[in-house]
Structures are given as C-alpha cells and as structure tokens.
C-alpha cells in the first residue's frame, strides 16, 4: 500500500475517533452545564427567600414602595421553583428538571414555600400601622404644644406668689420638662424608632399626672404613683386668681392622657402585619433549611453521575491511547526510511556527492530516494564542471591582471620621468598631454584593483588582517593622502577627532573605505563652497565613523541602490566624473567583513552622510 493511502487511512481513523470523542465530550459538557445552571437556580431560591425577608422588614420600616418589589420577588420564586420541577428555558438558559429521586425534598420545599408565601402576601397587602394608634399619636403630637404652653402658664401664674409656694413652683417647672419629654418620646414612636420610649412615656405620664393632682390637691389613690416614687404632697391651695392655667390644663391633660394610655397598650404596627412578619421570620428558617437540603442532595446526586461520566471518559481515553499508539507505530514504521534520506541529504549538504541511498521499496519514499540519488549524481557532475570553470576563471583573472598591469607600470613610470624632465625639457602642451597619460594609467590601475577586490569579496577570499589600531591616526593618514586633491578642487577636508580611539580592524582596508568615501564626496561637492568633515562617535559596542559633505546629495528613489555593484547614481553619458560603480560595493564588503555595517543618509542639494560602524571587542583598548 502506498504511504499516502496508508496515511489517509490512519488519518481517517484518528479523525473518526476524535469526532466520536468530541461528540461525547460536548454532550457530557452541555449536560453538565445545564445541570450547573439548574443547581445555580436552585441555590438562587435561598437568595430570593432572603430578599423577601429583607423587603418585608423594609416595608415594616415604612418603605411602601417596596410592596411591588416584594410582589416581584414572590413571582420570581414561583417561576424558579416551577421551572426546576418541569425543566425548560429560563432567562435564556436551559434548565434541567430535578431528578425523580429528589421529588420528595422538592415537594417539601414547595410546601414550606406555600406557608412562607401566605405570610409574604399578607405583608404585601396589609397596612403596616394601626390607624387608631396613628390617630392617637397624631393627637398627642398636635396637643403637645398646648400642653407645654399651659404648663409654662402655670409656672408664670405661680411666679408672683411668696416662698410658701416654692414647692408648687418646683412641681410646675418639672411638669414643663415632662411635657416636653412626652412630645419627644411620642415623635420617636411615631417614626418607628421608639425602642424603650413606650416604657419611658408611661413613667412621664404617671409623673405628670401625679404632679398635676398634687397642685390641684387631689388624692393620689393609684398604686402606680408609689411605683415611680411619687408621694402625696400637703400643699397650700393655690389662690383662684393664680390658677387659671391650672384649670385649663386639667381637661387638656385628661384627653391627652387617654390617648397616651392607648399608645402604651397598643403597638404602632398592626397586629395582622406584625403577626405575619413574625411568622415570616420563623418560616424563613424552615424554608431555607429545606432549600439547602434540596441543593445538597442534588449536588450529591450529580457527584454520583459525574463518577459514571468519569468512568466513560477514562474508557474513551484508554481507547484513544490504544488507537494513537497503533497509528504512531504504523507511521513510524512507514517513515523509518526518512532517517536514511535525511542522512544522505546531510552528506550532500556537506559536499559529499555521488553517494547512493540503498532503498528500493515501491512507494513514495522509494521514488524520493531515486530522485535524491539522481540529484546527487547531477550535483557531482555540476560541481566538477564548476571547479573547472572556477580554475579557468581564476587563471584568466590572474593572466588579465598581470597583462594589464605589465604595460601600465612602465607607462606610469616613464610618464613620471618625462614630467620630471629627466629626458629633457618639455613644453606646457607636452606636460599637459603627459599628465593626461599618467592620470589615465593611474585610473586604469585603480579600476583593475577594484575589479580584483570585488571578485575576492564575491568569492569570500578578501583577506582582513585585524590588529589594534588608533582610529585617529588612520583618519589623519587618509586625509593627508587626499588633501592634495581636496586643495586642487578647493574643497575643505577636516575631521573632529582630537584624541586617540583604539579598535581592532585592518588599517589598510579601513583607509581604503575612507578614501573611497572621500573621493565620492569630492566628486559630489562644488569648488570653493564644498566641505567634507569626518566625525567619530564612540558607543559601548561600536565606533561610528561618518563622512559628511554638503554636495548635491542622492535622490530618495535610488538611495537603496548605491551599495550595489556597478551601480552609479548618474548614469548619463555626460556625467561630470567617471567611475566603475564598484567603490561603495567594495566599502560595504570590507565593513561587513569586519562584522560592521555601513549606511547613508542624504537629501538632494543638501549633502550626504556616509556612516560605517566598526564593532568593539576586548582588543579595542588603548595600549599601555
């Protein structure tokens, strides 16, 4: 069987098993998710019960707007409880009905809910406060101002009397204070914050009534007076002309006292409402207990089902492992020959061509082995042919270089001798022509040298002899060699390095790079106004040398091509300066051979900045 067919079959088995597993796992996961939603809603019943209790107490505090909230909570409990019994969609989620095994405790929750619900409905419908008590409180609060006013009147009426009436005056003053206290206690009761105010107001009532009877000379025949320490006082009778306020106080107090006694004997909250609230708080504990038991039993039931699901999942995992092991072993057996192919290809990569792979099986790997054998033989032949061509190329380059240099050396030498007038005086025209010959010979020698360097860079044969050198000396040497041409072109050539900086590089090659960059800048700048500056920046990991000019600059659309071999920015036949287009390519190769980098920044008509970075290392330090 073909490997592809076998692979497709094995993949089909894996996909089939995975699909079955995925379907079962998704089904179990969805079922578990629905059950979790159901248990969450069952737990939410307890939250609703607590909410109903809190809302009921809020209504008891006088918040009438919470009656609608209570109705909504009752309805929410009903809906949640019913959906847990039947199952279905609730609030956008699927709810699973409670298992039949939990029906008894489910019904028990329902029964306790019905009792709890009845009390909650009473609280929602019944009036919170007793109307008669409310009326009595309103009467007391309404008349309390008159009561205080009349007691103050009694104090004022007794004020002109002599010291024999001082006890009367003290009792009247105490009655003013008690009247004020009755008003305050009544107000607290009316707003539902009375606390112990009922007992306190009863004491105030007995005390006020006893003081009034003592002033009127009436007998204290009630045992409650003695209970609060009020004694019968033998007081002189108050003159009629000083008892007007006292006579008016008596009927007012009699009416108000009856209302106070009613408030004392009856609560502000109505009996029906209070009874319902008490029963609600009692039934709350029962309902919460049944609901908690329902949730716990459902959780226990789910735990037992989960154990069964775990057994199913474990069985599936065992089956999956068996299938996967079988598939892996089968694939491994089929792919074992690939190791042989990998080794053979590795040998080819290392340059060992012509070796054969001993595999003859009639499958895809057999076809691949045959193709690799054929490729290895072909590469071997091509390699042998390439070596022959390379040898011929090197021989040709060596020959052409020698042949070109051989006539150029005497041409240059005799040109110098003639220009020096060693063979006789020359006219100006003769000197000019010889100068052209000498310059052309030097340019041709430079071109040959550039071609050789470019060839060496391409073949990776350019030799870099690194040593610890002073960059300041390197730059100064370069400037000294280029200064005559700069002076001739009337261009200012300077550098900013005023101290030694040592780095590990090939001094001759870096001079070559800087010379090429300066030559380019000389060609790009105009006489008299041209400026070329070499600057150095030292960083922790590298040294950056920049050659900046104020020449014509390089257009943006060609700036990425300047380091390509044989590329020239000005390609017109009338360009002002010549050149092979190899200089910047050689600069890039030399810098990169040092492990550095080179780049250019330029703006048209503003100038260019060529920068090269030389890496620093442990040898890049000043010698001792």
Specify whether 158 is located in the same domain as 243: yes
Specify whether 239 is located in the same domain as 182: yes
Contacts with 454 (C-beta within 8 Å, 6 or more apart), sequence order: 565, 582, 585, 586, 589
Q: Please give the pLDDT value at position 257.
A: 81
What is d(CA 389, CA 110) in angstroms, rounded to the nearest whole number? Answer: 100
Enumerate long-range contacts of 173-181, CB under 8 Å, 24 or more apart: 174/207, 174/211, 175/151, 175/208, 175/211, 175/212, 176/148, 176/151, 176/152, 178/204, 178/207, 178/208, 178/211, 179/144, 179/147, 179/148, 179/151, 179/208, 180/148
Q: Please give the pLDDT value at position 335.
A: 62
Domain C-terminal end among 438, 462, 486: 462
* Residue ranges making up the domain that contains 527: 465-615
Q: Is 458 helix (H, G, I), strand (E, B) or coil?
A: helix
| In contact, 185 and 204? CB cutoff 8 Å | yes
Q: Please state the domain count of the chain.
A: 4
On whether residue 623 sits in a domain, the answer given is no
Domain C-terminal end among 414, 431, 462: 462
Q: Read off the CATH number of the domain in which 309 is found.
A: 1.20.1440.210
On whether residue 330 sits in a domain, the answer given is no
Six-digit token string for 373: 């054998």
On whether residue 34 sits in a domain, the answer given is yes
Six-digit token string for 217: 């000379």
Domain C-terminal end among 436, 462, 488: 462
Specify whether 502 is located in the same domain as 607: yes
Using CA atoms, how far residue 409 sits from 46, 186, 336, 426, 437, in Å, is 109, 131, 66, 22, 12
Specify whether 190 is located in the same domain as 257: yes
Q: Please give the pLDDT value at position 514.
A: 93
Six-digit token string for 184: 């305050």
What is d(CA 67, CA 61) in angstroms, rounded to the nearest whole number? Answer: 12
Specify whether 517 is located in the same domain as 593: yes
- CB neighbours (10 Å) of residue 185? 25
Q: Read off the CATH number of the domain in which 425 is found.
A: 1.10.287
Specify whether 95 is located in the same domain as 138: no
What is d(CA 446, CA 579) in angstroms, rounded to the nearest whole number? Answer: 10
Question: Would you say the C-alpha torsion 347, 351, 356, 359 has a positive or negative sign?
Answer: positive
Q: Read off the CATH number of the domain in which 532 is found.
A: 3.30.565.10
Specify whether 594 is located in the same domain as 478: yes
Model-wide pTM > 0.95: no
Q: Is 609 helix (H, G, I), strand (E, B) or coil?
A: strand
Specify whether 16 is located in the same domain as 105: yes
Using CA atoms, how far residue 550 sits from 227, 275, 478, 581, in Å, is 117, 102, 20, 21
Q: Please give the pLDDT value at position 455.
A: 64
On whether residue 347 sits in a domain, the answer given is no
- CB neighbours (10 Å) of residue 451? 17
CA 415 remoteness from chain centre: 77
Q: Please give the pLDDT value at position 531.
A: 94
Specify whether 68 is located in the same domain as 158: no
Specify whether 208 is located in the same domain as 163: yes
Q: Read off the CATH number of the domain in which 177 is found.
A: 1.20.120
Specify whether 487 is located in the same domain as 457: no
On whether residue 404 sits in a domain, the answer given is yes
On whether residue 335 sits in a domain, the answer given is no
Averaged pLDDT in 10-residue chunks for the chain of 624 residues: 64 71 60 75 88 85 83 90 87 84 90 89 74 74 85 89 88 88 76 64 83 84 80 86 87 84 68 78 89 88 72 72 73 66 74 70 71 78 78 65 70 78 83 79 71 66 85 92 90 90 91 91 91 92 93 88 75 48 84 91 92 75 44
On whether residue 325 sits in a domain, the answer given is no
On whether residue 581 sits in a domain, the answer given is yes
Q: Please give the pLDDT value at position 8.
A: 67
Specify whether 124 is located in the same domain as 142: no
- CB neighbours (10 Å) of residue 610? 26
β-strand partners of 615? 542
| In contact, 79 and 143? CB cutoff 8 Å | no
| In contact, 233 and 167? CB cutoff 8 Å | yes
């Amino acid at each position: 069987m073909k490997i592809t067919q076998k692979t497709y079959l094995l993949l089909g088995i894996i996909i089939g098993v995975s699909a079955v597993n995925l379907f079962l796992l998704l089904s179990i996961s969805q079922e578990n998710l629905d059950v979790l939603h159901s248990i969450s809603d069952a737990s939410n019943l307890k939250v609703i019960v607590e909410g109903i209790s809190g809302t009921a107490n809020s209504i008891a505090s006088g918040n009438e707007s919470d009656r609608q909230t209570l109705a909504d909570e009752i309805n929410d409990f009903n809906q949640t409880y019913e959906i847990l019994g039947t199952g279905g969609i609730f609030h956008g989620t699927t709810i699973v009905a409670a298992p039949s095994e939990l029906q008894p405790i489910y019904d028990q929750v329902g029964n306790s809910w019905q009792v709890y619900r009845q009390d909650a409905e009473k609280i929602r419908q019944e009036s919170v406060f007793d109307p008669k008590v409310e009326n009595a409180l309103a009467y007391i609060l309404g008349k309390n101002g008159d009561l205080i006013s009349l007691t103050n009147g009694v104090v004022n009426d007794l004020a002109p009397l002599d010291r024999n009436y001082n006890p009367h005056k003290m009792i009247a003053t105490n009655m003013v204070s008690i009247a004020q206290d009755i008003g305050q206690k009544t107000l607290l009761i009316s707003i539902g914050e009375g606390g112990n105010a009922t007992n306190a107001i009863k004491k105030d009532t007995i005390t006020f009534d006893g003081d009034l009877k003592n002033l009127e000379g009436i007998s204290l025949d009630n045992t409650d007076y003695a209970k609060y320490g009020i004694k019968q006082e033998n007081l002189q009778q108050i003159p009629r002309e000083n008892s007007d306020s006292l006579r008016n106080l008596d009927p007012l107090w009699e009416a108000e006292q009856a209302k106070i006694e009613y408030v004392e004997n009856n609560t502000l909250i109505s009996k029906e409402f209070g009874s319902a609230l008490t029963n609600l708080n009692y039934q709350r504990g029962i309902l919460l207990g049944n609901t908690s038991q329902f949730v716990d039993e459902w959780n226990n039931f789910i735990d037992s089902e989960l154990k069964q699901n775990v057994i199913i999942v474990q069985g599936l995992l065992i089956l999956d492992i068996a299938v996967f092991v079988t598939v892996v072993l089968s694939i491994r057996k089929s792919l074992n020959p690939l190791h042989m192919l990998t080794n053979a290809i590795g040998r080819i990569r290392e340059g060992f061509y012509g070796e054969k792979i001993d595999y003859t099986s009639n499958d895809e790997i057999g076809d691949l082995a045959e193709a690799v054998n054929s490729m290895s033989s072909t590469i071997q032949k091509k390699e042998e042919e390439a070596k022959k061509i390379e040898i011929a190329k090197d021989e040709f380059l060596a020959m052409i270089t020698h042949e070109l240099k051989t006539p150029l050396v005497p041409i240059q030498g005799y040109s110098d001798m003639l220009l020096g007038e060693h063979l006789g005086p020359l006219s100006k025209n003769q000197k000019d022509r010889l100068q052209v010959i000498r310059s052309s010979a030097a340019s041709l020698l430079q071109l040959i040298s550039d071609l050789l360097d470019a060839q060496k860079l391409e073949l990776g044969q350019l030799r870099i002899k690194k040593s610890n050198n002073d960059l300041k000396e390197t730059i100064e040497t370069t400037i000294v060699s280029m200064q005559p041409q700069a002076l001739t072109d009337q261009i200012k050539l300077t550098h900013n390095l005023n101290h030694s900086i040592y780095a590990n590089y090939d001094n001759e090659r870096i001079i070559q790079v800087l010379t090429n960059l300066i030559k380019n800048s000389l060609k790009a700048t105009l006489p008299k106004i041209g400026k070329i500056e070499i600057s150095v920046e030292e960083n922790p990991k590298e040294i950056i040398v920049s050659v900046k000019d104020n020449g014509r600059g390089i257009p943006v659309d060609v700036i990425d091509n300047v380091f390509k071999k044989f590329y020239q920015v000005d390609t017109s036949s009338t360009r002002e300066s010549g050149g092979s287009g190899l200089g910047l390519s050689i600069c890039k190769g030399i810098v990169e051979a040092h492990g550095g980098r080179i780049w250019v920044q330029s703006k048209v008509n503003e100038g260019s900045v060529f920068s090269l970075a030389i890496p620093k290392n442990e040898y890049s330090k000043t010698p001792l």
